[in-house]
């Protein structure tokens, strides 16, 4: 059949990157004018902003009062590495991975820290059987696999009386999915994901059990300065009150504060989750109505509502990777979607960010363009054969 007519309407904001993600709909540079630029982050103005970022995170996410929240260097990656290098090695360890970032944590634990870890892996589109995981060991895992679109459905598999720590990379989940805090001892994320903030700053959230580990255990390897969270055997509380380990960008802090204010205005965490759910549902419904595209996540219960990963299933496609790349280029050339290609290590396809900062109207405007790009490229492939 001929390709559909090129759609007349385009998304008002064609930014569907899975990180850095779209800015909140209310964003404009002039709203960052209150950032204390050219000032020390240790001055009262800087400390106040950093403290507000920590307190706002606690408020919107519902983080328990006895959990510490710190702003740390190097985005989510830095936060995960701080936790792994500072806490692992005290007891047996299990590393869980079902996509590339989880696989990266496996590499660090096994090849860099040289831990004798139990490694549990699943293919893209699937998830590890969490019922088989030994939570008396320290367990490192991603809550939402950004590069596979597969997430942990809930915390039911994690026992309350576990002996080990749960170290959870939640960078594509925080502010869009429920995080069962009582099940999680270390939670990390970055501003650049669901809240549409700027890159390079990570958030590290510690339970009392994680603090106890830091204060009772000294790892056998050297710790760089930016990983050190204790002083004299006690937690460096300043880190969790806004006294950052290294110099933060106060412009980025202001941007994050703007995003937190927007979250409050629309109704907090429940509203953020609802926006992501609605965006993802529009994409899922689109796939259900077509036999040539489907969600990479095989089990609907594990489908991500933020990093929605899709694959083309038409058997007429000769080269899946080349076809997906061509579709992506058509969408970008038309100004319909930017940065929607699958992650480089993932199966070929599309990855559409559906987090809360994306408007559903933009998702709905994008979908006919995917239809058009797919059929147009399929025709081009047939003509070239």
Residues 169 and 68 occupy one common structural domain: yes
Same domain, 350 and 233: no
Q: Does residue 9 form part of some domain? A: no
CA distance 164 to 92: 8
| Domain interval for residue 97 | 29-264
Place of tokens 């396809």: 349
> What CATH number should be reported for the domain holding residue 190?
3.40.640.10
Helix residue ranges per DSSP H, the chain: 44-61, 75-87, 100-107, 208-216, 250-266, 268-288, 320-333, 360-384
Is residue 21, in this structure, part of any structural domain at all? no
Residue 112 maps to a domain: yes
Pair (173, 320) in one structural domain: no
Are 144 and 104 in contact, with CB atoms under 8 Å apart? Answer: no
Please give the average pLDDT of every successive group of 10 residues along the chain, which has 385 residues: 86 98 98 97 96 98 98 97 98 98 97 98 98 98 98 98 98 98 98 96 98 98 96 96 96 98 98 98 98 98 98 95 98 98 96 98 98 96 88
Do 76 and 169 contact (CB within 8 A), yes or no? yes
Same domain, 192 and 73: yes
Which two structure tokens, joined as six digits, stand for 261?
Answer: 């204010």
In this prediction, residue 385 carries a pLDDT of 79
Rounded CA-CA distance 138/84 in Å is 10
Other C-beta atoms lying within 10 Å of the C-beta of residue 64: 12
Strands 138-142 and 93-97 turn out to be parallel
Q: Are residues 305 and 278 both part of a single domain? A: yes
- 254 and 276 assigned to the same domain: no
Q: Is residue 1 a part of any domain in this protein?
A: no
Q: Are 179 and 52 in contact (CB under 8 A)?
A: no
pLDDT at residue number 1: 60
- Both 162 and 34 in one domain: the answer is yes
- Is 338 a member of any domain? yes
CA distances from 244 to 73, 80, 201, 266, 271 (A): 8, 16, 10, 30, 30
Instruction: Indicate whether 257 and 299 sit together in one domain.
Output: no
Helices assigned H by DSSP within 224-359 = 250-266, 268-288, 320-333
pLDDT of residue 4: 83
Give the list of residues 6+ apart from residue 53 with CB closer than 8 angstroms, or none.
Answer: 71, 242, 253, 256, 257, 260
Q: What is the pTM of this model?
A: 0.97
Which residues have CB under 8 Å from 129's CB, separation 6+? Answer: 120
Number of structural domains (the chain) is 2
């Amino acid at each position: 059949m001929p390709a559909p007519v090129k759609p007349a309407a385009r998304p008002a904001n064609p930014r569907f990157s899975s990180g850095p993600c779209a800015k909140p709909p209310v964003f404009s540079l002039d709203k960052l004018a209150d950032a204390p630029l050219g000032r020390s982050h240790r001055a009262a103005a800087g400390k106040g902003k950093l403290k507000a970022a920590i307190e706002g995170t606690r408020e919107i996410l519902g983080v328990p009062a006895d959990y510490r929240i710190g702003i740390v260097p190097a985005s989510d990656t830095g936060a995960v590495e701080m936790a792994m290098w500072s806490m692992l090695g005290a007891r047996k360890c299990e590393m869980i991975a079902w996509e590339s970032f989880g696989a990266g944590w496996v590499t660090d634990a096994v090849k860099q820290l040289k831990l004798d870890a139990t490694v549990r892996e699943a293919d893209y589109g699937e998830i590890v059987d969490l019922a088989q995981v030994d939570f008396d060991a320290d367990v490192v895992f991603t809550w939402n696999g950004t590069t596979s679109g597969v997430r942990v459905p809930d915390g039911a598999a994690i026992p309350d009386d576990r002996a080990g720590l749960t170290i959870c990379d939640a960078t594509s989940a925080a502010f869009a999915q429920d995080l069962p805090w009582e099940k999680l001892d270390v939670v990390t994320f970055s501003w650049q994901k669901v809240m549409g903030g700027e890159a390079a700053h990570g958030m590290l959230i510690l339970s009392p059990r994680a603090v106890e580990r830091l204060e009772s255990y000294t790892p056998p390897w050297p710790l760089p300065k930016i990983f050190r969270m204790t002083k004299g055997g006690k937690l460096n509380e300043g880190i969790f009150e806004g006294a950052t380990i290294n110099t933060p960008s106060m412009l980025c802090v202001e941007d994050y504060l703007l995003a937190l204010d927007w979250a409050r205005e629309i109704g907090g965490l429940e509203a953020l989750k609802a926006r992501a759910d609605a965006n993802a549902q529009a994409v899922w419904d689109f796939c259900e109505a077509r036999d040539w595209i489907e969600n990479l996540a095989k089990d609907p219960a594990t489908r991500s509502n933020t990093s929605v990963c899709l694959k083309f299933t038409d058997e007429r496609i000769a080269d899946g990777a080349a076809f997906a790349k061509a579709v992506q280029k058509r969408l970008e050339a038309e100004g319909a979607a930017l940065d929607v290609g699958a992650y480089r290590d993932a199966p070929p396809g599309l990855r559409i960010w559906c987090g809360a900062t994306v408007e559903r109207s933009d998702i709905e405007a994008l979908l006919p363009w995917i239809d058009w790009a797919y059929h147009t490229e399929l025709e081009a492939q047939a003509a070239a054969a």
